[in-house]
Structure 1
Amino acid sequence: MSLPLRTRTALAAAASARWASRTAGRGKGSMIGGLVAEKIDPNIMSRLAAGKRSVLVTGTNGKSTTTRMTAAALSGLGEVCTQEDGANMDAGIIAALSLNQDAPIAALEVDELHVPNVADATDPQVIVLLNLTRDQLDRVGEINHIERRLREGIARHPDTVIVANCDDVLVTSAAFDAPNVVWVAAGAGWVGDSVSCPRTGEPIIRKDHDWYSTGDAKFRRPQPQWWFDDEKIYGPDGFSAPLNPAVPGRANRGNATHAVAAAVAMGADPAAATAAVGTVGEVAGRYGSYQLDGHTIRTLLAKNPAGWQEALSMIDQDADSLVIAVNGQVPDGEDLSWLWDVRFEAFETMKVIASGERAADLGVRLLYAGAEHTTVPDPMTAIAQCPPGRVEVLANYTAFRDLGTALERAGATPSSAPRQEPPATLLEPVERSNDD
Structure 2
Amino acid sequence: MSELPLRAQLAAALGKGAATLSRATGRGDGSVIGGRVALKVEPDLLAKLARGRRLSLVSATNGKTTTTRLIASALRELGDIATNEHGANMPTGHITALADSPDARNGVLEVDEKYLPQVLRETNAAVVVLMNLSRDQMDRASEINLLAKKWREALAKSETHVIANADDPLVAWAGLGARYATWVSAGQRWKEDSWCCPECGGHLKRDPDPHWECPECGLRRPDTSWAVDNQTDSVIDPNGQRLPLQLNLPGDANRANAVIALATAAAYGIHPKQALPRLREIRSVAGRYTSVVTNGVEVRLLLAKNPAGWLESFAVLSPPHVPVILSINAQVPDGKDTSWLWDVDYTVLRGRRVFCMGERRTDLALRLETDEVPFEIADRVDEVVAKLKAEQPDITKVDVIANYTAFQQIRTAYGRVQ
* Bin for the TM-score computed over the shorter chain: over 0.9
Q: Read off the aligned partner of 1:236 and give its amino acid letter.
A: P
> What is the aligned partner in structure 2 of residue 299 from structure 1?
301
Q: 1:400 aligns with which of 402, 407, 410?
A: 407
C-alpha displacement of 1:133? 0.5
- Residue 377 of structure 2 is matched in structure 1 by 375
The question of whether the paired residues in 2 share the 8 Å contact of 1:126 and 1:266 is answered with no
Q: 17-26 or 39-48: which moved more?
A: 17-26
Q: Tell me the equivalent position of 2:250.
A: 248
Amino acid at match of 2:316: M
Aligned residue runs from structure 1 range 57-96, under 5 A = 57-96=58-97
Residue aligned with 2:246, SS? coil
Q: CA deviation at 1:276?
A: 2.0
Give the 5 Å matches for 1:24-423.
24-157=25-158, 159-209=159-209, 210-217=211-218, 219-229=219-229, 230-318=232-320, 320-387=322-389, 388-408=395-415
C-alpha distance in 1 between matches for 2:47 and 2:83: 15
Deviates more, 1:141-150 or 1:312-321: 312-321
Q: What is the rounded CA distance, in whole Å, between the counterparts of 1:382 and 1:141 in structure 2?
A: 37
Q: Which residue of 2 aligns with 1:430?
A: none
- Coordinate RMSD, CA, aligned: 1.5
Deviation at residue 401 of structure 1 after TM alignment: 0.4
Tell me if the contact between 2:60 and 2:130 (Cα under 8 Å) persists in the aligned partners: yes
Which of the pair has the greater relative contact order for Cα pairs under 8 Å at 6+ separation? 1
2:13 paired residue number? 12
2:322–2:352: 8 Å Cα contact kept in structure 1? no
- d(CA) in 2 for partners of 1:381, 1:325: 14
Q: 1:319 to 1:82 in 2, by over 3 A?
A: farther
Whichever residue aligns with residue 396 of structure 2, its letter is G
TM-aligned CA deviation for residue 397 of structure 1: 0.2
Q: Which amino acid aligns with 1:92?
A: G
Q: Secondary structure at the match of 2:329?
A: coil
Q: Among all aligned residue pairs of Structure 1 and Structure 2, give the percentage whose two residues are the same amino acid.
A: 42
Amino acid of the structure 1 residue aligned with 2:349: F
CA–CA distance in structure 2, aligned partners of residues 274 and 294 of structure 1: 34
* 238-247 or 288-297: bigger deviation: 238-247
Amino acid at match of 2:238: P
Of stretches 229-238 and 99-108 in structure 1, the one that deviates more from structure 2 is: 229-238
TM-score of the two chains, using structure 2 as the length reference: 0.95
Q: CA shift at 1:270, angstroms?
A: 2.3
Q: C-alpha deviations, 1:175-215, integer Å up to 9, x for none? A: 11322110000111211111111111111111012110122
The 1-side partners of 2:397 and 2:121 are apart by 47
- Tell me how far apart the structure 1 counterparts of residues 112 and 387 of structure 2 sit (CA, whole Å): 37
Corresponding residue SS for 2:164? strand
Query: Structure 1: where are the runs of 5+ without partners?
Result: 415-436
Tell me if structure 2 keeps the 8 A contact 1:243–1:275.
no
Pick which of 326-335 and 374-383 moved more: 374-383
Secondary structure of residue in 2 paired with 1:272: helix
CA distance in 2, matches of 1:259, 1:19: 31
Shift of 1:160: 1.3
Mapped to 2, the partners of 1:165 and 1:280 lie a distance apart of: 22
1:254-288 superposed Cα distances (whole Å, 9 cap, x missing partner): 11000000110121122112232222220000000
Q: Distance in 2 between matches of 1:339 and 1:333?
A: 12
Q: Secondary structure at the match of 1:206?
A: coil
Offset of residue 380 of structure 1: 4.1
How many pairs were matched up?
A: 409
Q: Is the 8 A contact 1:380 1:406 kept in 2?
A: no
Corresponding residue for 2:392? none
Alignment check: 8 A CA contact 1:319 1:392 kept: no
Q: How far is the alpha carbon of 1:319 from its aligned partner?
A: 5.0
Mind listing any 5+ residue stretches in structure 2 that lack a counterpart?
390-394
Describe the SS at the equivalent of 1:382: helix
Retained in 1: the 8 A contact 2:68–2:85? Answer: no
Q: Give the secondary structure class of the aligned counterpart of 1:332.
A: coil
Q: Per-residue displacement from partner, 1:34-65 (whole Å, max 9, x unpaired)? A: 11111211111111111111111110000011
Q: Given that residues 55 and 106 in structure 2 are in contact (C-alpha distance below 8 angstroms), is that contact kept between their aligned partners in structure 1? A: yes
Supply the distance in 2 between the matched residues of 1:381 and 1:329 (Cα, whole angstroms): 23
Report the secondary structure of 2:3's partner residue. coil
Supply the distance in 2 between the matched residues of 1:314 and 1:53 (Cα, whole angstroms). Answer: 35
Match for 1:154: what amino acid? L
Question: Shift of the alpha carbon at 1:382?
Answer: 3.1
Q: Is the 8 A contact 2:304 2:402 kept in 1?
A: yes
Deviation at 1:318, TM superposition (A): 4.2
SS of alignment partner, residue 299 of structure 2 = strand
Distance 1:114 1:383 in 2: 40
With structure 1 as the length reference, what TM-score do the two structures score? 0.91
Separation in 1, partners of 2:186, 2:336 = 30
- Residue aligned with 1:3, SS: coil
Secondary structure of 2:212's counterpart equals strand
Partner Cα distance (1:262, 1:166) in 2: 15
Amino acid at match of 1:195: W
